[in-house]
Amino acid sequence: MELEPNSLSTAYAIDFTACFGKGGYAATFGARHKSTGEIVAAKAVCIKRVHPDPEKAVALIKREVAMQASLAHANVLKILAHGRGQPPSHDGMYFILMEIMRGGDLFGYIKRAGSVTPMPEATAKVFMRQILAGVSHCHERGVAHRDLKPQNIMLTAKEGGVVKLIDFGLAHQYTRRPDGGYDRSALLIDRCGTRSYCAPEVLAGKGYDGFEADMWSLGSTLFVMLSGFTAVDQAVGVDLTEKLKGDWRFQRLVEVQRKGGSSTTAAYSFYKRTCSHLSDEVIRLIDGLLTIEPFGRLTMRQVFSHPWLEEGDGSGGDGPEARPLVYRSDPGAASEAACEAGCGGRAGHERVSAAEEDDEPLYRAASSGTVESELIDQLIYRGGLELGGDASPSSRRSLRSPASSARELCAEDSDEDGRYRSCSLDFASGLPPLPPLEEQHAFSCLENA
């Protein structure tokens, strides 16, 4: 629901001293509905950082808000209200009020477990069922997320709870056909997403299907959940651009798959590790999702009926009881009640501790040729910085430091934000270092096919 500035300030009280996190163009604060007392999260977006033209900036913000708001589902973060800030103090801000998540993101949950004692399969199964329920709902509505990763999956509780998909800034909406389905005949050509979770056909820049690309990202996410590290740095076999360099890990996976081997087993072997603690069923599921050839990759329907997701209750003691998944092929049959099979119920929304949307800037790997102005606008909206750099995310300025007011966001420079440190072969020892599980930033490389 879009509110006028006066109505927004009348309905909600935002505490600008309670900053849950800051990114390249937005910060998230605690807020309260004045009438009901409901505690919510308020994302304050700096309009001038979104786009130099304020009208275009607001249009881009509203596009993302509208897309996420249209995906009413228990496993998609709910937007409660939005609107421009009240002049004169906050006229340069756009506020998005959302349900609050007290468990942080899935990335933090995985990082707490680490790679030495990875997440139990039973716990991963609870999360995966819910993630699949949310992504399947998006696909049923013709939406490809295109930036699925643990940082874009929020939790209602520290011990797990219900998961919610966030950040639809890179999502693509397919056109609906008269028969109710969606026209996916035209391939998407813009490179977008986060490198370690991007499908190889996305990085290749030669055209891809958004739904198929999401399935690869789901496989990458499941791998990280169970291992604590990424299978590849980026799914690129040869140097494509100055920033998109060939990854030897991916080259090995190409060879392994050509010979009919397991990608999961191979990824563990890169670091002289074994995946003997994983069940055969989950290894086959990950292998099916991380199939390099998109036409051979598991589809959403196949994943829903996969034995690993069907067997056992998967409760694991770390989250809600997970009920069996039910795949719905009817794109129009999208009700929140139907998703209960995957989400395992709702959780209360109480005070949040250091939970935020992953609204880091979108890093641009390269751009050349002529691209549509709308895509350029989207690139500017997501930050438009260069991919790469040597600064570790651990050394970037704190995401948890409180801000005295939302105006600070527009006054500060965002160039200090940490940039992704890629993993490379340690030629001195001859052994590859274990890839650090770092917060990786999304990027967009907009080139002609």
Catalytic residues: 147
Total number of residues shown for the chain? 449
The single-letter DSSP state of residue 358 is: -
- 8 Å CB contact between 205 and 445: yes
| Burial state string for 259-297 with b = 16 or more CB within 10 A and e = fewer than 16 | eeebbbbbbbebeeeebeebeeebbbbbbbbbbbebeeb
Longest dimension (CA), the chain: 65
d(CA 80, CA 98): 5
> Is the four-CA dihedral 72, 75, 81, 87 of positive or negative sign?
negative
CA dihedral 303, 306, 310, 313 (to 10 degrees): -70
- 8 Å CB contact between 177 and 187: no
Number of Cβ within 10 Å of residue 413's Cβ equals 8
The token pair that represents 437 in the structure block: 């599980």
CA distances from 417 to 339, 387, 442 (A): 37, 12, 13
Only one residue has tokens 């030669």, namely: 206
Cis peptide preceding 88, ω within 30 of 0: yes
